[in-house]
Structure 1
Amino acid sequence: MTTNQTGETRQDGAAAPTQYCKVLREGPLTIVTINRPDCLNALHTDAHFELARVFDEFAADPEQWIAIITGEGRAFSAGNDLKFQAKGGGLDRPDSDFGGLTGRFDCEKPIIAAVNGLALGGGCEIALSCDIVIASDDAIFALPEPRVGMAALASGLHRLPRTIGWQQAMGMILTGRRVSAHEAREMGFVNSVVSPEELIAEARRWAEMILQGSPLAIRAAKSIARKGLEKASLEQAFLSQRDNEALDVMLGSEEYREGPKAFAEKRQPIWKGR
């Protein structure tokens, strides 16, 4: 049993049955583990649609405030299941694209990638689609698609230059070279590097830090920052931030009043997500 931020106790446990991933909900935290270790968590059509459903449910559940995604075994995800494709398997994907995340631009809840081992191709792009990236010190990142006659079309060609700059990104994209966890941190797309044994604990630690804040304020902050990147200038981003639905929800919420009240009363705020 766990006690969530509202003071209510919920039974820990798994969500609806899944075949290609494991889902655990602990209070306001959802942990999703890609579970195809026999193929290094490479993803095929059915796995994409299952993960899309899992993250649809996470996004829609008012009791779930933050998610961690990781991989079972020695890989986060080796990307596209090329053996499945070579046998004539379909390439259909959900609207939210690779792993149900790389085309998901409307989720205001934070998602943390806990990257264990290989994060190649689409697996790397899943990590780049998350808000926080924690890596084990044996993690490897790469976009090797050109080496198999493909391109990183699951948003990596756009996310990586926006995150680390043009030349650094092209150095990975055009060569397909592998980047260690420590180099990825130096480049700016990994937040923290720890031992494999500490990986999930470190991801949980980041989740707990985020959960100390109002979930509605967190969502507003993420939404404003993300939409601001779509503007041509800093001034336009600043002027447009008031026109934001997540901000309107925050300003009209109980939490907007609870924060100052708790501060004045010298106590910890009680966040209810409303």
Structure 2
Amino acid sequence: MATIAKILGSRSSLRLLLNNRNRFYSSKSYEFIKSEIVGAKSNVALITLNRPKALNALSNGLMKELSDALEQYENDKNVAAIVITGSEKAFAAGADIKEMQPNTYEKCIMNNFLHDWTKVSHCQKPIIAAVNGYALGGGCELAMMCDIIYAGEKAKFGQPEIALGTIPGAGGSQRLTRIIGKSKAMEMCLTGNMISAQEAEQSGLVSKVFPPEKLVEEAIKLGDKIGTHSNLIVQICKEAVNSAYETTLQQGLNFERRQFHATFSTKDRKEGMTAFVEKRPANFTNE
């Protein structure tokens, strides 16, 4: 260790290297996605789905790579938020039907089909979906697994599985119903009809709509904003909001209150309130 420190010139250089040793994966080569660190403070991870000829159809290989990248970014203390996007033509036009077509019930059960999709919804860090173009079937489901959806003006959302003789399998019938209500979700799932970005915003599926060329930039800005807060408290807050979809109101209120109480055991809660009283910016340490 001393020899390494000497080569680097100082112990502080060595400490910096060790603290950032997990960041070298950002240049990792993937076949179906691109990943990089972006943002004003280099604390936002950007993952781009990259199967342009297949309109970013969600193959098993792509989803495994996405799951791997998310796990790496989740373990990187320097990453505050994650953005997932596709191309201007398609966020993801659905699951890979050619790959899925030969499946049987036995294969689905024995191979735990769609298992690799769960990492998106289980990630502790906030994930922003930046949706341009088509987000259909699995693409719409992937966007809904994220915490916030920003959309380009020409984005289209839909669950067209009914036309293929099947139903949504990665949460489409469940998350869509909770987000936009039974009637609209039922209409989309039973007809396969798409809705526009504007309709999606009006129904609460999408937070904001932007010109296509500005979408990813705005999503990264949102990640930057989230990154100005305590990463620790952000993750606690995300868990509290998610509990609203999974519990009764009273259970959710009790969970929220206990999480609120728990923040009083953190240094960041003390720093945030002290900074407010002293009228200065807070210096969060994620502790």
**Partner in structure 1 of residue 11 of structure 2:** none
* Cα pair distance change 1:28/1:153, threshold 3 Å: same
SS of 1:76's partner is strand
Instruction: Name the larger-Rg structure.
Output: 2
C-alpha distance in 1 between matches for 2:214 and 2:24: 22
Partner of residue 251 from structure 2, selected from 214, 236, 256: 236
Q: Deviations along 1:165-224, whole A, 9 cap, x unmatched?
A: 111111111111011101111111001111111111111222223223222221111111
C-alpha distance in 1 between matches for 2:161 and 2:170: 11
Equivalences for 1:165-184 in 2 at 5 Å?
165-184=181-200
* Cα pair distance change 1:73/1:197, threshold 3 Å: closer
**Partner in structure 1 of residue 267 of structure 2:** 254
**Residue segments in structure 2 that go unaligned for 5+ positions in a row:** 1-19
**Partner in structure 1 of residue 76 of structure 2:** 61
Q: CA deviation at 1:72?
A: 3.1
In structure 2, what residue type is equivalent to 1:201? Answer: E
In structure 1, what residue type is equivalent to 2:271? Answer: E
**Partner in structure 1 of residue 31 of structure 2:** 19
Does structure 1 retain, via aligned residues, the 8 Å contact 2:25–2:72? no
SS of 1:133's partner is strand
**Partner in structure 1 of residue 283 of structure 2:** 270
Q: CA deviation at 1:247?
A: 7.0
**Partner in structure 2 of residue 37 of structure 1:** 52
* Cα pair distance change 1:174/1:209, threshold 3 Å: same
Does structure 1 retain, via aligned residues, the 8 Å contact 2:32–2:65? yes
**Partner in structure 2 of residue 82 of structure 1:** 97
Say which structure is richer in helix.
Answer: 2
Q: Deviations along 1:217-273, whole A, 9 cap, x unmatched?
A: 2111111121233222x22221233555x974x433221121122223322112232
**Partner in structure 2 of residue 207 of structure 1:** 223
Q: CA deviation at 1:13?
A: 8.9
Does structure 1 retain, via aligned residues, the 8 Å contact 2:180–2:204? yes
Worse-matched range after superposition: 83-92 or 199-208: 83-92
SS of 1:241's partner is helix
C-alpha distance in 2 between matches for 1:220 and 1:71: 28
**Partner in structure 2 of residue 4 of structure 1:** none
C-alpha distance in 2 between matches for 1:216 and 1:154: 29
SS of 1:97's partner is helix
Calculate the TM-score normalised by the size of structure 2: 0.82
In structure 2, what residue type is equivalent to 1:241? Answer: E
Q: Deviations along 1:89-146, whole A, 9 cap, x unmatched?
A: 9865463427x42xx33x2311100001010100000111111111111111110001
C-alpha distance in 2 between matches for 1:243 and 1:190: 29
Does structure 1 retain, via aligned residues, the 8 Å contact 2:160–2:189? yes
Does structure 2 retain, via aligned residues, the 8 Å contact 1:12–1:25? no
Q: CA RMSD in A?
A: 2.5
**1:95 to 2:108 alignment:** no
SS of 2:286's partner is coil
In structure 2, what residue type is equivalent to 1:123? Answer: G
* Cα pair distance change 1:85/1:228, threshold 3 Å: closer
C-alpha distance in 2 between matches for 1:181 and 1:145: 20
* Cα pair distance change 1:166/1:49, threshold 3 Å: same
In structure 2, what residue type is equivalent to 1:269? Answer: A
Identity %: 34
The number of residues matched between the two structures is 259
C-alpha distance in 2 between matches for 1:88 and 1:231: 34
**1:145 to 2:158 alignment:** no
C-alpha distance in 1 between matches for 2:159 and 2:114: 21
In structure 1, what residue type is equivalent to 2:98? Answer: K
In structure 1, what residue type is equivalent to 2:142? Answer: I
**Partner in structure 2 of residue 7 of structure 1:** none
C-alpha distance in 2 between matches for 1:259 and 1:148: 52
Does structure 1 retain, via aligned residues, the 8 Å contact 2:178–2:245? no
